[in-house]
Amino acid sequence: MGTGTLTDYTNGQIVEAAHPNAIHAALKGDFVGRDSSGAATPGQNLGTATIPWGTARLTDLILDGSPVEPGLITAQPNRVISGAIRATSDFPDYLRPSGAAASFTVLGATTNLLIDVNGSTATISTDIVKSGLTLAPATNNTCQINDAALTGQDTTRFLGENGTEIVVDNMLSELTSRIGQFVALLNQATNEVFYCRIESATSLRDVRRGFCFDSSGNPVEADVLNNNDTLQLLSLGFIFAEDDGTTIDITYRNPIISGNQPTGPQTGDYWYDLAVKVWKRYSGSSFDQINRTFIGIAALDTSVCSWTRPEYFSKSYSADNTLEVRLDTVDALESVTPDFLVSVDGDQKRFDFGFLRWDASTDFESGVVRTADRDYWLYLTEDGKPIISDKKPYDLQGFLRGWYHPYESWRALAQIYNNSSNEFELVHESDAILNLLWRQNFDKSRVILSNNATVADLDFSAGFFTFDDGTGEAFSPAYTKSLQIVGSWQPGNGGNGLDIGIVAINTWYNCYAIHNPDINDYDVATREFIIGRSDYLFTTTFGSPALPAGYTKKRYIGSIRTGTADILDFLQNDKTFTWDLKIQDVNIAYGTAPIGARTLYPLFTPLGLSCEAIFSAAMFMQSGVTGNTAIVFTNPSQSDQAPTFNNVYSLTMGQQAGGAIQEEVSAQFRNFTDTLSQIGIRSTTPNCAITVSTAGWVDHGLENL
């Protein structure tokens, strides 16, 4: 467009050739903005907020003199642009199952459904009913959950997600014929529908729990699982809409997205060809380009279509998030700083001059009740509102560039735990360092040791441990490690636990939780996905175990002792360890009790660390000796001290006239040992016998584990 001024003319003026020629000149060449006087002026708008331009096709784009790389802003063709949304958020809501017939409806009348098909926008402006759908098989269509540990725990609502597994058995032929494919399953016990991949006849993986919506548009939420729940195969259809705005197609075989043409296709199969970015459909002889795009799924039982889920809208989603959260009170959390940026549902939210706060009294999701001993997540809505919810988010980093609510357009930003006292604890303060994982035995307590039925093996409970260098924490699965197996340390459940050498008799072994931060692993034994790999190790070296390759983080978690062929029986209760039977450590004969200075005697407590020994002591006088005797027990780190009859660590005894032996005197004591497991003993007279038996110890090295 030319840059000359376009002049307004009034009624009665003679029209000359220059007048229309000025308009023609303005239409030629560069197209520029003009002010209200018709003069070429910079900074004018192309369209308005209420009347925007439609598709603009450009070769180059330059902003403020700088060219914009097209690859940074281009969107993939073949996508859902916009449509009907839920009343509670901007989550798509344009598919509705019948619930009474083998049909569903694509909603477009009230709010048009806009789709992109091969780079061109198409509009569905009417409600389209798709009927005559294929029903689920009526026989040979079930499997059962096979996991005795599943007894309806709250955390079973998340099982199968994020690398975890649902173990099944009794899988019948309609399911075994679909091994390797994604299917929809109905839990007959709870009526939950979830989407998953059948990995094998005993395993379901890559699960989306609480995935579908019912005929009223309400989510069918994730529910608990129990051993022997029956899972029924549904008919799963993948829905495609054509660019004519009226044609809807459905395929019951998993579509394929690949740069390579699929092998062994069947007629009607859909393939998104990444090389040319278009959907193709197999005609029976070739894959032909088709002007359709994917818009969602439908699931049917043996009679009706009762569930659907729409595809997400395509927007400029971003992973941007500088928010970190801290615990303010046991009932509220807030942002660490008043200024941060979070992208939610394709929109940048910039906060300044105040702290974002989640408060238990005001911010729970509608219908969610605060419950003790339960996981919750902190969400931010597309409108910038804080929400606390027990709905575990989906990992949608590949599409939405973040973790999002399963059926709302809210981004998850942190994970919290409401403990048994109904107090919030912060589990993960930011999704930048968060994997938001379900853990089969979610337990905020430390790892606990216990004897295994096999006496040379040791059980480690699932639990958390902090790294001894202060750099973080990790979750360890429940493992059994062996001291019997000869050879190098082995990872995982049942493997050799010894760092070096072979097991020795009558020897103290220190137990360590160890962590490899560079391995993301799935543990078959515990059916858990682990961010970083955690395991356990035995070593005779306290403080500096020989760690396996890659395991750079560690934490001491307790000590055990071998006998002649096994691990001596013990019990652990938090930091306190007790022997199953007391063990006599010290037996001082008549005439040999130390006087004038203490003697150090070893107790049956771990070597290498100072711990609080729990022991009982007994004394009695030699026959014919009269008078009183006192003995004192001291920590070797303390100064030596003479026993007195009013010393709290002393045993005292008197002798009857005539020299008869008094009744035995005994008492229970606690005292700290040195790193050689020793305590000091000193008596006022050598003419007494002293025995000491260790009942156990308190390992203060486990505090803040």
pLDDT tens for each residue of 171-201: 999 999 999 999 999 999 999 999 999 999 9
Q: Is the pLDDT of residue 285 over 60?
A: yes
Which is more confident, 28 or 91? 91
Residue 586 sits in the same domain as residue 521: no
Which is more confident, 28 or 39? 39
The mean pLDDT of 71-80, rounded to a whole number, is: 75
Q: Is the pLDDT of residue 250 over 60?
A: yes
The least confident of 146-150, 486-490, 601-605, 621-625 is 621-625
Q: Is the pLDDT of residue 289 over 90?
A: yes
Residue 420 sits in the same domain as residue 481: no
User: Cβ atoms within 10 A of the Cβ of 501, count?
Assistant: 10
pLDDT in tens, 87-142: 999 999 999 999 999 999 999 999 999 999 998 999 999 999 999 999 999 999 99
Residue 35 sits in the same domain as residue 8: yes
The least confident of 289-298, 510-519, 548-557, 649-658 is 649-658
Helix (H) or strand (E) holding 73: helix 70-73
Q: Is the pLDDT of residue 55 over 80?
A: no
pLDDT at 440: 33
pLDDT in tens, 357-397: 999 999 999 999 999 988 899 999 999 999 999 999 998 98
Half-sphere exposure in the Cβ direction for 541 (13 Å, CA): 10
Residue 496 sits in the same domain as residue 421: no
The mean pLDDT of 274-293, rounded to a whole number, is: 95
| Nearest by Cα to 298 from 220, 204, 212 | 212
- Does residue 59 lie within any of the structural domains? no
Among candidate residues 568, 587, 604, the one where a domain is terminated: 568
**Cα dihedral 510, 511, 517, 520 in deg (nearest 10):** 150
Residue 584 sits in the same domain as residue 695: yes
Residue written as token pair 């497991």: 677
- Does residue 287 lie within any of the structural domains? no
Residue 581 sits in the same domain as residue 698: yes
pLDDT at 441: 35
Residue 540 sits in the same domain as residue 631: no
Per-residue confidence at 500, pLDDT binned at 50, 70, 90?
confident
Q: Is the pLDDT of residue 522 over 50?
A: no
pLDDT at 433: 39
Among candidate residues 568, 593, 617, the one where a domain is terminated: 568
Residue 508 sits in the same domain as residue 598: no
Number of domains in the chain: 5
* Full residue range of the structural domain in which residue 535 is found: 449-568
Q: Is the pLDDT of residue 165 over 90?
A: no
Per-residue confidence at 444, pLDDT binned at 50, 70, 90?
very low
- Does residue 88 lie within any of the structural domains? no
Backbone angles phi, psi at 174, to 5 degrees: -65, -25
- Does residue 113 lie within any of the structural domains? no
Residue 558 sits in the same domain as residue 613: no
What token pair was written down for 521? Answer: 């692993």
What token pair was written down for 686? Answer: 């050598």
What token pair was written down for 626? Answer: 């009269």
DSSP 5: P
Name the amino acid, one letter, at 549: A
Query: Is 650:632 a contact under the CB 8 Å cutoff?
Result: yes
The mean pLDDT of 537-558, rounded to a whole number, is: 89
- Does residue 309 lie within any of the structural domains? no
Question: What's the pTM?
Answer: 0.61
Residue 471 sits in the same domain as residue 554: yes
- Bridge partners, residue 669, by sequence: 615
- Does residue 179 lie within any of the structural domains? yes
Residue 551 sits in the same domain as residue 647: no
Which is more confident, 299 or 428? 299
DSSP 151: B
Q: Among residues of the chain, what percentage have pLDDT more than 90?
A: 52
